[in-house]
Amino acid sequence: MRKLLKGFLWLVVILVVAVGVVAFLGSQRPNKVYDVAVTVPDIPVDSTLLARGQHISHIWGCRDCHGSNLGGQDIIPPGNPVAYVVAPNLTGGKGGQGAVLTDEDWVRAIRYGLHTDGKPLYIMPSKDWTAMSDYDVMAVIRYMQTVEPVDNETYGSYLGPLGYVLSGIGALQMWEAEHIDFSLPPNNDIVKAPTAEYGAYIANNCMGCHKPNLKGGKHNDPNFPPVPDITMTGEFGSWTKDQFLTALKTGVRPDGRQMDPMHMPWRAFSHMDEIEMDAIYAYLRTQE
């Protein structure tokens, strides 16, 4: 009996040590510092640039995470055993990042998903925007610097007890900086037109969920349903252009089902103009 008890105690010790090691490893990922050279493009500010920034803030989902007024909101609420994740207040109001961020800080966050100290931001889809043109990056930044201030104190995101373990075993994907090619140059040659080329530029914003090959599959968030294949070999291949545009504008699929905006951000995409919608449709029609 004493032998069994001793063996059980050793097993408990081994498990505790193993969990501790895994949790320690998990804590290293959100605390890793990435040393990335940041360049601030020299783009003159005018009304066209600001209008472009406002437009991008809608169609690329800034308001889906940071709130309709960009004043910040919880993404994963406090008390969750995996993590607490907040999309911070981006305005210049009390508690807002807009009051303290430099141009370099803005570029670092948008292109590379990094905080001012070089640590990775939680659930910031910068991999979609690393190659964004200099003009579009500065349009977003300059627009953000003009938005109405919102007083909202937001606090930093952090892992919960389970999150440290899941992070340690590689089962948690919350930091896109881990997967970004920091040497990728901006796409400054892109021309806005109803072409597949421009559609590919916009479709970068789809790849966070639908994967780089746009074939979807299991989402990084286990609470999400499987992500559909939006290439010609998937269901999308049978959609007409009118059906596709209706889905983007209203969230209604050809079979009449309403898409959940929490899973498919059609409300953001509904702000796309005609050229952008035509372009992304043209691009998706080339994907198999």
- How sure is the predictor about 101, in pLDDT bands with cuts at 50, 70 and 90? very high
Q: Which residues contact 105 (CB under 8 A, 6 or more apart)?
A: 116
d(CA 26, CA 214): 29
Name the one residue in this structure whose structure tokens are 């070999």: 233
Residue 56 is predicted with a pLDDT of: 94
- How sure is the predictor about 70, in pLDDT bands with cuts at 50, 70 and 90? very high
Across 5-9, 224-228, 271-275, the highest mean pLDDT is recorded for 271-275
d(CA 104, CA 116): 9
Cite the DSSP H helix spans in the chain.
2-31, 47-59, 62-66, 103-112, 134-144, 161-168, 196-203, 207-210, 241-250, 266-269, 274-284
Q: Which residues contact 29 (CB under 8 A, 6 or more apart)?
A: 120, 167, 175, 178
d(CA 190, CA 8): 64
Residue 74's DSSP bridge partners are 86
Residue 35 pLDDT exceeds 90: yes
Stated pTM of the model: 0.87
Give the containing element (helix H, strand E) for 54. Answer: helix 47-59
Find the Cα–Cα–Cα–Cα dihedral 216, 218, 224, 228, rounded to 10°: 30
d(CA 150, CA 188): 33
- How sure is the predictor about 17, in pLDDT bands with cuts at 50, 70 and 90? low
Residue 211 is predicted with a pLDDT of: 85
Name the one residue in this structure whose structure tokens are 């040590």: 17
Q: Which residues contact 56 (CB under 8 A, 6 or more apart)?
A: 62, 136, 139, 140, 143
Which of 288, 240, 234, 244 minimizes the C-alpha distance to 266?
A: 244
Measured in residues, the chain has a length of 288
- How sure is the predictor about 183, in pLDDT bands with cuts at 50, 70 and 90? very high
Which of 79, 98, 138, 281 minimizes the C-alpha distance to 199?
A: 281
Tokens of 141: 């930044």
Residue 21 pLDDT exceeds 80: no
